[in-house]
Amino acid sequence: MAAKREADWAIGEALTFGSLLKDGTHVRLSGQDVERGTFSHRHHVLHDQERDRVTYVPLNHLYPDQAEYIVCNSSLSEFGVLGTFCLLAVKFCVKVTAVTPMRLKSVSK
């Protein structure tokens, strides 16, 4: 893909989140199986195969002064994503919290 200068959905998503984090916008991704992503296209949380419950989140290690990136798997439930504003163009929901205005919350659909 790099040789052809192409980007698929997963690369575009990672670049988008990375640029937000670099600019100081906190991102929280939550939903069913968001760590791995549908059909394993997203690898935002890497699980150690030798040690139980040891993970690594690459997007938290891009820049020394970047914002925090949080990835949370949740159950398949509409109640788990209440209170979000959906942006249909990018296929995920975002909302800004009142407590931390620079913290962007994303909920995968």
Q: Which of 57, 36, 41 is nearest to 1 (CA)?
A: 41
Residues 6+ apart with CB under 8 A from 80: 30, 31, 74
pLDDT at 50: 95
| 95 membership: H or E segment, kind and range | strand 92-96
Question: Domain residues of the chain, as ranges?
Answer: 9-108
Average pLDDT rounded to a whole number, residues 27-35? 81
The domain defined by 9-108 folds into Rossmann fold (3.40.50)
pLDDT at 22: 96
Q: What is the pTM of this model?
A: 0.66
Residues 54-105 have pLDDT tens digits of 999 999 999 999 999 988 877 666 555 554 444 333 344 444 455 565 665 5
pLDDT at 40: 59
Q: Which of 11, 88, 75 is nearest to 44 (CA)?
A: 11
